[in-house]
């Protein structure tokens, strides 16, 4: 007499993830996404203000011979202020972006992979602690460096180039040597040449130095890899 085969196992109807937990976390993730998108949208106006101010000053400086080249000093000051405001906004954006990335890496990935073991770890405690006492994730210097690297380094270099061009075009005497160029840096009798040269050189060195330093020390919000999918990180 042949043995009767055992009945096939019934499919497990128990949900792999707690539905109420998934629902609550989904709404939390959606809310955090809306928050970082709002802060991300606030980053663009300051850059637009810096570009608009620079364009206006360029128009005035190159259309009127009597306008002194020191006007670009005020251009640099305004752009530095815009950079500082944008860096402060970027710190808020990065703080909430880090929270969203925590949810994506430790909540969405286990759901997509259908693996409850990936839900383990201290990420929940970290998120709860950040909800109770929010904190910035990067320093003000790094925030300035990131925005400088992305946008403002080009604005500063264009301003410095326009400054030199203005000196050559509208100098009182022809510039045919380093000495005559240095003398042309003087503005009237109150602003000596050394002060203008110091501002120009300090701006050039600080902009390039911060950009290179931040570029080597940090990766920014998104790392760049080739398009091959095998290099995607989970």
Q: How confident is the prediction for the chain on average, in pLDDT?
A: 84
pLDDT of 13 strictly over 50: no
Tens digit of each residue's pLDDT (9 = 90 or more) over 144-154: 999 999 899 99
Q: What domain range includes position 117?
A: 19-221
Q: How far is 75 from 156, CA to CA, in rounded Å?
A: 9
pLDDT of 106 strictly over 80: yes
Q: Which of 83-87, 142-146, 170-174, 225-229 has the lowest mean pLDDT?
A: 225-229
Does the residue 216 lie in any domain?
A: yes
Does the residue 228 lie in any domain?
A: no
Tens digit of each residue's pLDDT (9 = 90 or more) over 58-101: 999 998 888 888 899 999 999 999 999 999 999 999 999 988 88
Does the residue 233 lie in any domain?
A: no
Does the residue 4 lie in any domain?
A: no
Q: How far is 18 from 64, CA to CA, in rounded Å?
A: 70
Q: What is the pLDDT of residue 16?
A: 65
pLDDT band at 18 (very low <50, low <70, confident <90, very high): confident
Q: What is the pLDDT of residue 26?
A: 87
More confident residue, 109 or 97: 97
In the numeric block, the tokens 């620079």 are attached to 54
Question: What tokens appear for 130 in the block?
Answer: 């950040």
Total domains in the chain come to 1
Does the residue 1 lie in any domain?
A: no
Q: What is the pLDDT of residue 234?
A: 43
Does the residue 150 lie in any domain?
A: yes
The reply to whether the predicted model has a pTM over 0.75 is yes
More confident residue, 24 or 234: 24
**Beta bridge partners of residue 191, listed in sequence order:** 187
Between CA 227 and CA 233, with CA 229 as vertex, the angle to 5 degrees is 105
**Per-residue 3-state assignment (H helix, E strand, C coil) for the chain:** CCCCCCCCCCCCCCCCCCHHHHHHHHHHHHHHHHHHHHHHHCHHHHHHHHHHHHHHHHHHHHHCCCCCCCHHHHHHHHHHHHHHHHHHHHHHHHHHHHHHHHHHHHHHHHHHHCCHHHHCCCHHHHHHHHHHCCCCCCCHHHHHHHHHHHHHHHHHHHHHHHHHHHHHHCCCCCCCCHHHHHHHCCECCCECHHHHHHHHHHHHHHHHHHHHHHHHHCCCCCCCCCCCHHHCCC
Does the residue 9 lie in any domain?
A: no
Does the residue 206 lie in any domain?
A: yes
Question: What tokens appear for 22 in the block?
Answer: 């998934």
pLDDT of 124 strictly over 90: no
- Residue range 171-194: average pLDDT? 84
Q: What is the pLDDT of residue 6?
A: 64
C-beta of residue 85 within 8 angstroms of C-beta of residue 73: no
Q: Which of 92-96, 130-134, 167-171 has the lowest mean pLDDT?
A: 167-171
Q: What is the pLDDT of residue 224?
A: 56
Q: Pick left, alpha or beta for residue 60 (phi over 0 → left; psi -120 to 50 → alpha; otherwise beta).
A: alpha
pLDDT band at 208 (very low <50, low <70, confident <90, very high): very high
């Amino acid at each position: 007499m042949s043995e009767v085969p055992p009945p096939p196992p019934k499919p497990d109807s128990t949900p792999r993830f707690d539905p109420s937990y998934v629902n609550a976390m989904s709404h939390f993730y959606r809310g955090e996404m809306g928050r970082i998108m709002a802060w991300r949208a606030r980053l663009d106006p300051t850059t637009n203000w810096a570009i608009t101010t620079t364009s206006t000053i360029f128009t005035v400086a190159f259309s009127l011979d009597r306008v002194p080249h020191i006007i670009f000093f005020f251009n640099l000051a305004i752009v530095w202020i815009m950079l500082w405001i944008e860096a402060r906004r970027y710190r808020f954006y990065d703080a909430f972006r880090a929270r969203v990335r925590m949810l994506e890496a430790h909540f969405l990935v286990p759901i997509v992979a259908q693996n409850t073991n990936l839900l383990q770890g201290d990420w929940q405690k970290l998120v709860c602690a950040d909800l109770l006492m929010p904190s910035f994730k990067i320093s003000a210097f790094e925030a300035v460096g990131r925005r400088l690297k992305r946008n403002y380094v080009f604005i500063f270099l264009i301003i410095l180039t326009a400054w030199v061009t203005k000196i050559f075009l509208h100098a009182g005497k022809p510039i045919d040597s380093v000495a005559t160029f240095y003398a042309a840096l003087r503005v009237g009798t109150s602003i000596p040449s050394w002060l203008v040269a110091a501002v120009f050189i300090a701006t050039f060195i600080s902009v390039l130095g911060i950009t290179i330093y931040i570029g080597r020390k940090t990766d920014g919000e998104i790392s760049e890899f080739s398009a091959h999918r095998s290099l995607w990180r989970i």
